[in-house]
Every structure is written in C-alpha cells, then in structure tokens.
Structure 1
Amino acid sequence: MLRSYRYRFYPSTEVRNNITTALNYCRLTYNKLLELYYNGKINTVYDACNYVATLKQQYPELKTVYSKTLQRAGNHLFNNISVLASLKNKGFKTGGLRYKNEYRFRTLEYNQSGFKITENLLELSKIGTVKLILHRPLPEGRIKSILITRTKSGEYYAIFQVETSSITLLQNNSAVGLDMGVKTFCYDSDGNFVDNPKFLAQSLHKIKLLHRKLSRKQRFSQNWLKTRCKLAKLQEYVANQRNNHNHQVSRYYVNNYGIICVEDLSIARMLSRQNRTGKTLRRSISDAGWGDFLSKLAYKAESAGRVLVRVDPRETSQKCYCGNIVKKDLSERVHDCPCCGVSLDRDFNSALNILKKGLELLSGREGREPPGLPVEPAVNRDHQVSKPLA
C-alpha cells in the first residue's frame, strides 16, 4: 500500500528562492492548462501533459523547472476535475475550478525521478539540496514520489509517498463498535469513551481576534502579511493538535481490536443541513474531525490486517438493543427503554447497535456466525480512553 511520511526542513535563501520560482512556474502551467480546458482544447490528462512541451516553447523560462514537475501540474488539474465530477454525481452543489494565485498553489511533486537521498540530505533537481529533520527514520520501500510543500505560515515539508508492505499484528477476534459524537469524541461498545478535546473551541477567541486585526490591515501590506502569517500559524497549530489526537485514538483501537464497526457518516451532508443544524453544532462537528479520524482508522486497519466495517447510521441512537424504537431528541443523553427497562447512556446504546449491525453485516458477507453479545449491557465509566498510546 502507498503511505506518506512527512519531514520538515529549513531551506537556505537560495533554495527557498528556487522553490518559489518553481511554484510560480508550475502555477502558470496549471492556470494555462485550466484555461485550455475551459476553451475545450484539452480534454484528458494526456492532452495536458503533452501540451506542456508547447508551453515551454511559448515560455522558455519554464525550462528552469524539472520536466516531470511541470507535467504533474496537469495531473493535479484533472484530479481536481474528477473530484468535482464525483461530488456532482453524489448530488452536491459545486462550482468550477478557480485559477490559482500565489497563495493557493504551494506544492511541487517529483514523481519517481529528479531526487536523490543520502542519509538526511535530499537533493532535488534544479532546486538544490536540503537537510531533513529526521524525527523518525526514513521509510523503507520504493519511493514513488516526493512532494515539496510550503504551508501558509511559511514552513517547508518534504512528503515521501512510499510503497510499503502491510504489517500484520497478532490475531485478535475481539470486536468493537464506535459511535462518533460531539459531547464525547467517540463511545465504544465496551463502555469506554474518549472526551472531545475541542481544540478549535480552545483557540477560537484568539482566531477571531486575529481575523479582526487582519480585516483592518491594508491588503497585501507588510502588516497584513505578518498578521496573516500569525493567523495561519495558529490555525496550523489547531490542525496539528487534532491530527495528533486522531492518530493516537485510531492507533489504540487498531492495536486492541480485530473487528472495528463504525458508522458510514456523510459528514458533508451533515454540515450542509443549515436548516437542521445550527452554526454552533456545525462548528463542533468540524472541530471533532470525524472524517480525518475515520480515514486514519481505515488505512491503519488495512495495513494491520484488521477488519473495518461501515454500517448504516440510521436509527442507531433511536433503537434499543432489544429492538424497540425509543424516539428522543438530540438533547436527551440517556436512553430509557420502556419495554426492557434498560437505562444507559445514549451514545453507549448507539455503539452497541453499531456493533450488532456490523457483526450481522460481516457474518452475512463472510458466512460465519458473529460472536455473542451481552443481553443487558452495563455502563462502565470507570475506564476512559482519554490518552491512548500510539
């Protein structure tokens, strides 16, 4: 499978200028290809890659950039086009692609060639040599490509995309169901839960303050650029906190369970329902980072030989474990069933239903009986997974 490893580096002034120049010329190529696409002169990624040679004749300065790096701009363009097409097919309202300015094009790609690695030194064709900060060993396996990216705050990273073999963990037949929430980040069918850290809510006041300061600056002035950089650093800090948290929680469940059942959530649709969810709830859903967590859980489960089952989320919180439907509003956090008399946390009940659905789906798919489940589960709030080890 293909995995990505990110390393930071601090380029010299010469290398930084070369990266900026290469980004500008790749952005020029991207915009020209997008214009040709809108005019109907290119229709496929092959047309785009072939037209790069014509652009080099029109703009000789493009020859200062590695050839494959320029061609990858065409690949990125048609990847974006295919993503928009898939979203439209799913019923989402999408606009057209925009031309990139210097603040919206921040990545170069060296595909299969144009780079050389010696210990912690990375040599890039027509850019120079950079020293990587190896916070972990370089990946073993075939390096398919290297992405050189510059963040909004001005930090530089090299992202290695490597073909690696799956690492199968010890066999584990234990199963768990996970219910994603806003009050608690996730609640599992064993009675454990992860508190929602609410990283955005913790820094929201500072973000609003910087936004207010930025709006009062003259656009593209030095003070505007400095304030914009401060805001970008704060937003990246929040994103890094969320990323680290999701890595830790996903690693915990992959290491301790062989079958993981989750809801097949359509987060984009949940955020687009403005008439049903208020602004605060939509912000809380985005702050929780469910999509990022489920993505990390999926690729870690695949690489470790675990089974990840996605189930239909309908009625998982309204249905009792005994099969009775108990209607309740979102504000009601306790599930009380009048038929079987069970009383337990709403999210715990949902996690049990997710596990039951997942095992039924898995047994039908693989032709085997699911493991037994408790008839009257008891809530266990003594053991929390607040800081799982990665």
Structure 2
Amino acid sequence: MSRTRTALAAACLLPTLLLVPGAPGAAAGPPDRELRFATYNASLNRSGEGDLVRDLSTPDDAQAQQVAETIQRTDPDVVLVNEFDFDEGGEAVDLFRENYLEVPQRGADPADYPYDYSAPVNTGVPSGLDLDSSGTVGGPGDTWGFGSFPGQYGMVVYSKYPIDADRVRTFQLFRWQDMPGNLMPTDYYSPEEQSQLRLSSKAHWDVPVRVGGRTVHVLVSHPTPPVFDGPEDRNGTRNFDEIRFWDDYVSGGRAGSYIYDDEGRRGGLRGGAFVVMGDQNSDPLDGDSIPGAAQQLLENPRVRSTPVPESEGAVVASASQPGNEAHRSPAVQDTADFSEPPGNLRADYVLPSRSLPIVDSAVFWPAPGQPYADLVTASDHRLVWVDVLVGRH
C-alpha cells in the first residue's frame, strides 16, 4: 500500500476509533506522521559560474529533467541535493523548482517544495594560501574547498514542511585545527595554513524543519573525496574529520563542546530529533577513506543506522562491472557507480536519530529493464531515501 493510500485509510479509520468508548488508541492523541527524508548527489554542478542558472532558465535541460523526475518518482518530504552550484541570488534554487520540480516529468506528479535552504559554501572561495603546495597561489587547489568558482559543488535543501530559518546553524568558517584530536597533516600544511584552514570542504548545516509541534534537525554536508592528494592524505584525513564533526555534534555534551557556528554560538546539538544526510564519500569497508571514517556515525549510539537502504540495481551493476569482486561491503547497499578504482561504493547516507523509528528505506537504483532505470544516468550517485515516524509532539 502506498504512503498516500495508507494515510487516507488511517484518516478514515481515526474518527471511528475516537467515537467508540474504550476503543484501542482512543485516548492516544494524534498519530505519528510518516516522513520521507532523502539525499541525492545530483551532479548538477557546472564548470563555469552562472552556467547552472543558464541551464535551468529553460525547462529543457535533459539532466535536470532526469534529476527532477527522480525526485518526483520517490516523492521525499525533505530532500538534500548535493553538487548544486550556489549563487548569491538563489536563482538556481528557484529555477529548478519552477521549471523542473513543479513540471510533470514524463507523466510523474509535480513535486511541491514551498520551503528551501541554501547558503554559501567553501568550494571555490580563494584562501590566499598555497594549500596544494604547487609553489604558486591561485586556482581550484588553493581554495578553502576545491572548486573553480565560489559556490561550485554547493547544496540545497528542499522541504514540504516549514524551515525554521532563525534557528539554522552553519559551520562554514569552523577551523580544522579547533577540532580536538584532529587528523590534519601538520607536516604538510605550514603553521599559517594550519591556523586558517577550514574543516568543511563545502559546509555543514543544521537546518531545523518544523513538523507539526516537533522539530527535526536536518544535518547536511558533503565531505571531500578521500583521494586526489599525496602520501600526506590531506583529503582522506579531512574526510574523516568532516564525518567526525557530525558524530561529535549529535553526541552533544563534552564531545561537542568545542564546536562553534558562524554566528559564534557554541556547542553541539542540544537534544531533539535529527537526520544526518549527505554524500559522505566514505564506504564502511571499501574505497580509499580512512578505516572507520563512516563508522563514526554508523556506530554512534544516538544514530539509527539499520535497516540499510538497498536496491536491486546496485547488485546487477556490481556483478556486471569488473573490479568490484574484492569489495567487502554488500553490493546491495551501494549508492554510487564509480569507475574502477574504486568501483561501486556506499557513499550516500540518510541516518535518523534513535527517536525516529524507520518504516522503510531504499536506494533508487532500478535494475536494467525495470521502470525508470534510465534515470540513473543523471548522476554517478543514486538517491537514497528513508521513511521515519515523527511524533506530533
């Protein structure tokens, strides 16, 4: 039974229960609400500043159509789109909504997202430092996060529920050296670079979403890939600590006491429900990330990490593409179709707090021949969704 039909059935049944004295659940109050949270690295980044706005200004960009249809077919209530170039005016966010999400793609129902959140990221922002040790200052390797222009590889959150903008916390400016016990390679970075280098390769955001009388903190990020460096492993160590940031943040208390946001407010999450979402660029067992990087979140006692979203398409892809034979993570859990090496990996996560029971989950990766299998060509990542129950109070 679909989520819509289930909701309608429940709505029809509830008045009857309330009218029957002593009926089970008669005094239980309003039922929990089922919400779908999703993350999708849609690869909507472009090579030049303003190119994404240009491409979304008309409704006929083939890739954007596929991305929009994927979102329409899965129908998340809250969705994070990674690799969506940021622009100061927010034009791309509005254009994608108006020209793609709200337009039926191949007969799919339009997706209505009246609320969104996007903000500046570190990618493409010049640091004024020789961070890649090339001997010169300038270019993508010397920006706070690798990028050709400010905002490249940004991200946006779309929501069907109100976003509490006054309570959003951003951590774009948090310095890597301010994380106790960090893995920054101090033999690679100069003292000046160490004192200024930011932790987030893009950004970390705490976006509170109001669901009835309850708030769910949507914690989003996109850590750097743990590759494209040298023996110092500066990207691998940064990836590890970017993931660790959310581990400390949701643990709260002393673990998150060192954290400060861009407004100077200190401390981690002070209780409450949350969902960690994003392309973490880290498979629990395979690939190039530092061992244990993903496990920092997966094994956090406040995080609900099972059941793991799965797909049939991932199994078929792994078996048909050479180079995945030695992988240890179950192929059914893969979320990204990379070339060899590293091969197909589980890189994208939707991890709710223990207070949010999981009802269902999946990776949108239809096997060849199944409906909508052609949509996976939009990106080398797949949309991952998790349905949870959110209490009314």
* TM-score normalised according to structure 2 size: 0.23
